[in-house]
Amino acid sequence: MNKKRKIPMRKCIATGEMYPKKELLRIVRSKEGEVSIDPTGKKNGRGAYLLKDKEAVLKAKQKNLLKQHLQADIDESFYDEIVAFIEKENISK
């Protein structure tokens, strides 16, 4: 008998829609206030989820959503870093 596994769902801060956790990228703020990309989804700290899509990242940048959700100052170049990470991940698939 196969038991159906529950798929964890998270909300993208840019689109406001729920997606399976694996389709999203977690951005985390540590206790020290350092903001970083969390590819494993297991780092300690406050997290925010973004869809692995360039448009979603640009929308988050335009509305400054990461600053609001993580309550930390976000450098403009960090959004470029996120886009580069997503594109690199898509190439390796």
Q: What is the pLDDT along the chain (93 residues), one digit of tens a residue?
A: 677 889 999 999 999 999 999 999 999 999 999 999 999 999 999 999 999 999 999 999 999 999 999 999 999 999 999 999 999 988 876
The SS3 call for residue 92 is helix
- The Cα 65–Cα 77 span in angstroms is 15
pLDDT at residue 93, as a whole number: 64
Q: 2: which residues sit within 8 A by CB, 6+ positions away?
A: none
Number of H helices, E strands in the chain: 3, 5
> Would you say 26 and 14 are in contact if contact means Cβ atoms under 8 Å apart?
no
CATH architecture of 9-92: 2-Layer Sandwich (3.30)
Residue ranges per domain, the chain? 9-92
Residue 69 tokens, joined: 């959700």
pLDDT at residue 5, as a whole number: 86
pTM of the predicted structure, to 2 decimals: 0.89
